[in-house]
Chains A and B, each alone.
Chain A
């Protein structure tokens, strides 16, 4: 299998703006490989460095040292983003646009021809079940609908790699189920999905492999059954053990 997402000794430091405050190390020596066609879960507690990793992969944050590649192209080059789709966490899309207009705008940025864009928009709105709301302004959408329109925009260019940052965060069980079904469908279509989540049950359902990151360091990476076998525990217990959680005992 070929790695379509790769990081080598990735290190990111954020200099503090406060006087005499120490530099914060967000990522230290991260080596990661995601193969074509797999659904890869990126797990870690809050502040572990998941979003920073995604920000480096998308060219939002320059690495302090190390390199990151998408499809073998350095992520600092905009062309590396031609074949990816990205869904950020908690985004509020342009309220004055309709879902159809929003998707058409993103299609234009990818240089998709009008006829092809029309077909793609129809397919995507059907996929995310927003056909009936396509002409409504996004400001009238519920949170779940906004998240689904976000998924549709991430898929507008028919990407080979999808990067999803906590795609089910803040959604009700029904919304979560719908997003999970879409990821499952993308997996069946042979797409590569790289996503972060706190929902371990969901990760267990859809992921082929997972990586667990804590305090900017990669703690483990592998198939879910292998990790469970290694720790003789459920994924949640293994996760807590890896991040060094100590259960508090009653006094």
Chain B
């Protein structure tokens, strides 16, 4: 475990010493503050639009940070040849993959804390309320989703040569799942065989990241808390996908030449 934590520590250091996070955070803050400063049509419910916009920006920024940070990990190690002295030490390839995953995932968690604290402050300035448990549920499931995204991107970084192509492909896959994943069963029903079975297979195979994505409504529309057993089940469901992607990444990396 110490090796995994050592590798993870370097990934976290990289995140807070690069500009990516700060740029996205400042952009999100600026957009939200500007939108929050105007009162369009004297609408009393305007705070809901502001919250929705802020949460959407947080989702986009966190996905960009998770995908771009993870996508460059292994390719950068190969390109700068740091992979060689690293693997020449008593560190297995599996430990390296798990270390990279843990580092990226924890880094995403830290990013989410910053974003949600800002969101809470912004919402409280208008709503004068702190539904902390709702925020916690939304942020926690958001973090779990990022775990799946990080594991998928890590696998992609071993399959695709260029980090840019991997980032694009992962972003398209994740955006597609978030936007249309929940409608695939309805689409399948309207099809004839064999397309119905194929689409159903896709529906059951993909990780349904859209469930935590919809947690935004919990906060925006002040819905009551979700049952903790549901949160637990969804966490297990997501972590199973993350584990599957990680195992696949380890298998691919085991047979990959490092020189």
Q: Which residues of A contact B (CB under 8 A)?
A: 51, 55, 58-61, 78-79, 81-82, 84, 86-94, 96-97, 101, 105-106, 108-111, 150, 153-154, 157, 163
Q: Chain B residues with Cβ under 8 A from A60's Cβ?
A: 84, 87-88, 257-259
Interface centre among A60, A90, A157 (most CB of B within 10 A): A60
Contact A90 B13 (CB under 8 A): no
Measured CA separation A188–B147 after assembly (Å): 50
Contact B13 A97 (CB under 8 A): yes
Interface centre among B80, B84, B87 (most CB of A within 10 A): B84
A88-B85 contact given A60-B257, A108-B2, A109-B3, CB 8 Å threshold? yes
A105-B6 contact given A79-B90, A92-B80, A96-B18, CB 8 Å threshold? yes
Q: Choose among B10, B82, B89, B258 the residue that contacts A92 (Cβ–Cβ < 8 A).
A: B82
Q: Choose among A61, A86, A108 the residue that contacts B88 (Cβ–Cβ < 8 A).
A: A86
Min CB–CB distance A207 → chain B (angstroms): 22
| B91 within 8 Å of A (CB atoms) | yes
Interface mask (B39-57 → A, CB under 8 Å = 1, otherwise 0): 0000000000000000000
Contact B90 A105 (CB under 8 A): no
Measured CA separation A185–B87 after assembly (Å): 26
Min CB–CB distance B169 → chain A (angstroms): 22
Contact B88 A97 (CB under 8 A): no
Measured CA separation A81–B92 after assembly (Å): 11
Q: Chain B residues with Cβ under 8 A from A89's Cβ?
A: 81
Q: Choose among B18, B87, B89 the residue that contacts A110 (Cβ–Cβ < 8 A).
A: B89
Q: Chain B residues with Cβ under 8 A from A163's Cβ?
A: 88
Contact A91 B85 (CB under 8 A): yes
Q: Chain B residues with Cβ under 8 A from A150's Cβ?
A: 85
A78-B2 contact given A92-B81, A101-B13, CB 8 Å threshold? no
Contact A78 B92 (CB under 8 A): yes
Could you name 25 residue pairs across A and B whose Cβ atoms are closer than 8 Å? A58-B88, A60-B84, A61-B257, A61-B259, A81-B89, A86-B84, A86-B85, A86-B88, A88-B81, A88-B84, A88-B85, A88-B88, A90-B81, A91-B80, A91-B81, A91-B84, A94-B80, A94-B82, A105-B6, A105-B9, A106-B85, A108-B5, A109-B2, A109-B89, A154-B85
| B17 within 8 Å of A (CB atoms) | yes
Give the total number of A-B pairs whose CB atoms are below 8 A apart: 81
Measured CA separation A79–B14 after assembly (Å): 29
Q: Chain B residues with Cβ under 8 A from A110's Cβ?
A: 89-90
Contact A94 B85 (CB under 8 A): no
Q: Chain A residues with Cβ under 8 A from B5's Cβ?
A: 108
Contact A55 B259 (CB under 8 A): yes
Measured CA separation A92–B80 after assembly (Å): 5
Interface mask (B1-39 → A, CB under 8 Å = 1, otherwise 0): 011011001100110011000000000000000000000
Measured CA separation A81–B89 after assembly (Å): 6
Residue of A nearest to B18 (CB): A96
Residue of A nearest to B91 (CB): A109
Measured CA separation A148–B84 after assembly (Å): 16
Q: Chain B residues with Cβ under 8 A from A86's Cβ?
A: 84-85, 88-89
The B74-132 residues at the A interface (CB cut-off 8 A) are: 80-82, 84-92
Q: Chain A residues with Cβ under 8 A from B3's Cβ?
A: 108-109
Contact B85 A153 (CB under 8 A): yes
Contact B17 A96 (CB under 8 A): yes
Residue of A nearest to B15 (CB): A96
Residue of B nearest to A153 (CB): B85
Beyond the given pairs A96-B14, A105-B9, A105-B10, 12 more chain A to chain B contacts, judged by CB atoms under 8 angstroms and listed by A's residue number, are A78-B92, A82-B90, A88-B88, A89-B81, A90-B81, A91-B81, A91-B84, A92-B82, A108-B2, A108-B6, A109-B2, A153-B85
Q: Chain B residues with Cβ under 8 A from A91's Cβ?
A: 80-82, 84-85
Measured CA separation A86–B259 after assembly (Å): 14
Min CB–CB distance A251 → chain B (angstroms): 42
Residue of B nearest to A84 (CB): B88
Contact A94 B84 (CB under 8 A): no
Measured CA separation A30–B126 after assembly (Å): 75
Measured CA separation A163–B84 after assembly (Å): 12
Min CB–CB distance B16 → chain A (angstroms): 9
Residue of B nearest to A83 (CB): B90
- List 5 tightest A-B contacts by C-beta distance, closest first: A86-B88, A108-B6, A88-B84, A92-B80, A96-B17
Contact A81 B84 (CB under 8 A): no
Measured CA separation A149–B2 after assembly (Å): 23
Interface mask (B232-250 → A, CB under 8 Å = 1, otherwise 0): 0000000000000000000
